[in-house]
């Protein structure tokens, strides 16, 4: 396990963008697998395409957006620990609502949803997902911004998001 951790840190140092995007996409996919197998009991009807959608969305959208957001917050608020509260307020007040809207819309679009279906899915799922977000992420982010070095923050978010992605996968696939 220690060797795997060292390899990850080495990759993160050499290729931060690729490493963070890949880990985001991988953990999003794992969240979908957990949702399908453990929550929805779909062992026999497992949907590989659905997991591929999560991987694609994580690679092309979520990973790059998270990386850009964290770099932007560092530029705006600086790296000092006393700025952690400002980062949490920006993250939860601005980023979370916009990101969750785009997540719901993007996943519905990748499922083949039309504009009316996408709007309906946002109307149906946004508030419950946002309220659940506020039960989890502010506490995670305050610890993340106070105690975790910048280069490891997305990993902390991704590991926490393993459970979160399981929830999002389940929510995004409800009709």
CB 67 within 8 A of CB 128: no
Which residues have CB under 8 Å from 102's CB, separation 6+?
61, 65
Q: What is the spatial distance between Cα 130 and Cα 143, in angstroms, rounded to a whole number?
A: 20
Is residue 7 one of the residues assigned to a domain?
A: no
Is residue 1 one of the residues assigned to a domain?
A: no
Which residues have CB under 8 Å from 121's CB, separation 6+?
104, 105, 108, 113, 172
127-137 pLDDT, tens digit each: 999 999 999 99
pLDDT score of 161: 84
Supply the pTM of this predicted model.
0.86
Containing domain of residue 167, as a range?
A: 18-172
Q: Which of 17, 73, 30, 19 is nearest to 160 (CA)?
A: 30
Looking at the 3D structure of the chain, how many domains does it have?
Answer: 1
40-62 pLDDT, tens digit each: 888 788 999 999 999 999 999 99
Is residue 9 one of the residues assigned to a domain?
A: no
Is residue 2 one of the residues assigned to a domain?
A: no
Is it the case that residue 6 has pLDDT exceeding 70? yes
Is residue 5 one of the residues assigned to a domain?
A: no
Is residue 88 one of the residues assigned to a domain?
A: yes
Q: What is the spatial distance between Cα 29 and Cα 58, in angstroms, rounded to a whole number?
A: 8
Q: How far is CA 100 from CA 1, 18, 69, in A?
A: 33, 23, 14
CB 65 within 8 A of CB 35: no
Is residue 150 one of the residues assigned to a domain?
A: yes
């Amino acid at each position: 396990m220690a060797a795997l951790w060292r390899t990850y840190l080495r990759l993160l140092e050499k290729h931060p963008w690729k490493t963070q995007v890949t880990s985001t996409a991988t953990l999003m996919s794992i969240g979908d697998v957990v949702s399908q197998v453990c929550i929805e009991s779909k062992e026999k009807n497992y949907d590989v395409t659905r997991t591929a959608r999560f991987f694609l969305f994580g690679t092309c959208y979520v990973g790059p957006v998270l990386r850009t957001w964290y770099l932007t917050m560092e530029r705006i608020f600086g790296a000092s620990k006393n700025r952690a509260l400002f980062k949490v307020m920006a993250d939860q007040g601005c980023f979370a609502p916009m990101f969750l809207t785009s997540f719901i819309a993007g996943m519905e679009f990748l499922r083949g949803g039309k504009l009316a279906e996408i709007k309906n899915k946002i109307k149906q799922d946004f508030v419950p997902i946002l309220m659940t977000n506020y039960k989890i992420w502010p506490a995670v982010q305050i610890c993340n911004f106070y105690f975790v070095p910048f280069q490891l923050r997305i990993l902390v978010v991704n590991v926490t998001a393993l459970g979160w992605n399981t929830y999002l996968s389940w929510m995004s696939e409800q009709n």
